[in-house]
Amino acid sequence: MNETGLVDKLAVITGAAQGIGRAIAEEFRAQGTRVVIADRNADIGKKTASEIGAEFVTIDVTDSASIAHAIAHVTAAWGPIDIWVNDAGVDINADAEAMTDDQWDTVIGVNLTGTFLCCREVAKVMIPRGSGAIVNIASMSGIVSNHPQPQCAYNASKAGVIMLTKSLAGEWAPRGLRVNAVSPGYTRTAILDSVEKIQPEWTKLWFDDTPMGRAATVSEIANVVVFLASDKASFMTGSNVVVDGGFTSW
């Protein structure tokens, strides 16, 4: 475990109250990392934190003042932040010609702008220390246009996260920061389960189009995130690691 360099490090994970974010938090805890769950849903977030032995802080990733306040609170309460994972995200399925301005702004605001704001604010405390690892959760939807669901805003936002990751990695590497991304494919979460009940024809097509024939487990995504944050990935920055069961290999 000590080879990962994660023991007693401090990791903050946005959107970690449930789903992939929670699995990431659990895997960090398994590696001996101190974890702070940063989420705007305080009820679920505090419950999750209590269950896995983590701390909790309220955050709105679309509000730079909220992010700065959360970072200041974490630093004062638990010490310097070593790792930051941007997992908070939303998706709205809407036909492009019918998508409203508010729907577009919501998706881009959380997924892309929110990721940038968090990166910018945490870099302000990492750069003076000369070290830090940031992992952004992108998506295979930033590489391919998914079907049959209409989600142009989501696809565009995640493509932006991938390029943002590369841009920040090059800019901040000389100052000791590493910035990488993970692009999950379809992953077995409560959201996917609900889609499977409502739109089973969608999930059948998704799995049929995945060479491995199934969705990822949340732990399969979490393992890659934790690796990128660890010393074992010390020469990796600007990478986008696709974990999609082969979906984008066709």
Single out the residue of 196, 171, 200, 167 nearest to residue 181, CA to CA. Answer: 167
Q: Is-catalytic flag, 186?
A: no
| Catalytic one of 116, 154, 172, 206 | 154
DSSP code string of the chain: -GGGT-TT-EEEEETTTSHHHHHHHHHHHHTT-EEEEEES-HHHHHHHHHHHT-EEEE--TT-HHHHHHHHHHHHHHH----EEEE---------GGG--HHHHHHHHIIIIIHHHHHHHHHHHHHGGGT-EEEEEE--GGGTS--SSS--HHHHHHHHHHHHHHHHHHHHHGGGTEEEEEEEE-SB-SHHHHHHHHH-HHHHHHHHHTSTT-SPBPHHHHHHHHHHHHSGGGTT--S-EEEESTTGGG-
Q: How many residues does the chain have?
A: 250
Which residues are designated catalytic?
A: 154
